[in-house]
Structure 1
Amino acid sequence: MADASNIGWLRERLKLSQAIEPGDPAGLLDWLEQRRKEIPFSAELIALHDVAGWQQTANGNIVHKTGQFFSIEGVRVRSAPGVREIAGWDQPILTQTEGGVLALLCRETPGNGIEFLLQAKADPGNIGYLQFCPTIQSTWENIRGLKGARPAAFAELLDASPNVRLIYRSKHNEEGSRFWQKTNENMILFVEDAGLLAIDHLVYRWASLSQIKQMILSDNVVGPYVRTIISAL
């Protein structure tokens, strides 16, 4: 849940920030477009039987050979009249034992007020691949340092620290038509001294709330999780 005193404090700081924070996101948009041209990332659709590392079980479910990540199973739905368009249906659905963390780090500077640290994250299904996403957008498996994967950057800030003030923490459902009873923990973390952070400026950019709101009006620039997190503000 949100800490009423901390989220109230940040809302007051955001009100004061409006007088000085940058509102034009042109520089951020130019940077994102340049990074889209530079990153060595590509994706294409292939047949399911060609997907490496995944296999079909005896009951037809699709799972990873390690038993980690998500699975594809079937769900049968029955609905009372008027609740949905039809009385029932069968469909594939993604299942996962654990959800993930979606966290935005923020700071306050004398010149720009409150700023949020956005990650330019590449995902295969994105148009343009890169979109501005939360600072931390990761499964718990990667946060714990899943074998073969790089641990999520800034994951150490999820633990209590004198340099981090927890503003907001709440679980939210993933899209229920695609995911089976999966939730993600949404968080806002205020960093008292952002100078202590090791930031890769080829991946991360600070942005004001005004800039984020402006970028949301552009096509395929801001990922949906950022919108969910800032809705608490």
Structure 2
Amino acid sequence: MADQEHIRWLRDRLQASRAVEATDPAELLGWLEVRRRDVPFSAKLIPLREVADWHEDDDGNIRNATGQFFRIEGVRVRSAPGVREISGWDQPILTQSEGGVLALLCRETPERGLEFLLQAKADPGNVGYLQFCPTIQSTWENIRGLKDARRAPFAECLDASANIRVIYRSKHNEEGSRFWQKSNENMILFVEDASQLAINDRVYRWASLSQIKQMILLDNIVGPYVRTVIAPL
């Protein structure tokens, strides 16, 4: 099937799911609040000169000592009148040779209908630190497996197989005011038999589309990438 056929198929399953799926996110919100209290995670702003393993190169750009991840470089902008508020400016910008993957796994059960697997992911700039994010929210470097770091969970699900139906995959530009020509690959992956997955229930929770939509209306609960991944539905 073409991507549009897969999307239509999933939309039909979502329509059927409405008769049985959970709509109240209270249990998910309670679980997230407990995890926010229990997970040992903290972050604070420090001077850039004190950041370990990041260094200024001969051009004044900031790079990681390993050469991996993003860099902080400069960009000079010139614009025709009326396109932006001013005709030009200079600014720092994040550059990265590769983007990443934003993928939601989903399943269907007779009792709960269609559900998506959300990850409670901690990032230093988040309000509340832990927020519900896509199942896979990772750079390609982490998906392939960095030295001395574990490979991103569920990376083996990114390709179609007997158990994985790729609903769609498309590249979307990261925020251009902060990232230089970076794209992330957005994906929805339907799992035929979710019992084959090894799911850590201290990190991941299944949620219906109705529950996700309810949580999006709340402050600082659902990360922005979940919204971009489910948008085609």
Same fold (TM over 0.5): yes
What corresponds to 1:217 in structure 2?
Answer: 217
Deviation at residue 160 of structure 1 after TM alignment: 2.6
Deviation at residue 148 of structure 1 after TM alignment: 2.0
Gaps of 5+ in 2: none
Q: In 2, distance between residues paired with 1:112 and 1:31? A: 18
The share of aligned pairs that are identical, in percent, is: 76
1:12 match: secondary structure: helix
Amino acid at match of 1:72: I
What corresponds to 2:14 in structure 1?
Answer: 14
Q: In 1, distance between residues paired with 2:230 and 2:4? A: 16
Amino acid at match of 2:137: Q
1:161-197 per-position Cα deviation (integer Å, ceiling 9, x unaligned):
1000000100000000000000000000000000100
What corresponds to 1:203 in structure 2?
Answer: 203
Gaps of 5+ in 1: none
Deviation at residue 149 of structure 1 after TM alignment: 1.7
After superposing on structure 2, the runs of 4+ consecutive aligned residues of structure 1 that deviate more than 4 Å are none
What corresponds to 1:84 in structure 2?
Answer: 84
Q: In 1, distance between residues paired with 2:3 and 2:36? A: 37
What corresponds to 2:56 in structure 1?
Answer: 56
Task: Give the total of aligned pairs.
Answer: 232
1:135 pairs with 2:131: no
Matches for 1:20-99 after TM superposition, within 5 Å: 20-99=20-99
Amino acid at match of 1:118: L
1:13-44 per-position Cα deviation (integer Å, ceiling 9, x unaligned):
00111111000000000000000000011001
What corresponds to 2:144 in structure 1?
Answer: 144
What corresponds to 2:165 in structure 1?
Answer: 165
1:102-141 per-position Cα deviation (integer Å, ceiling 9, x unaligned):
0000000001100000000000000110000000000000
Amino acid at match of 2:4: A
Amino acid at match of 1:43: A
Deviation at residue 231 of structure 1 after TM alignment: 0.5
User: Retained in 1: the 8 A contact 2:159–2:166?
Assistant: no
Q: In 2, distance between residues paired with 1:168 and 1:229? A: 10
1:51-85 per-position Cα deviation (integer Å, ceiling 9, x unaligned):
00000011100000111100000000000000000
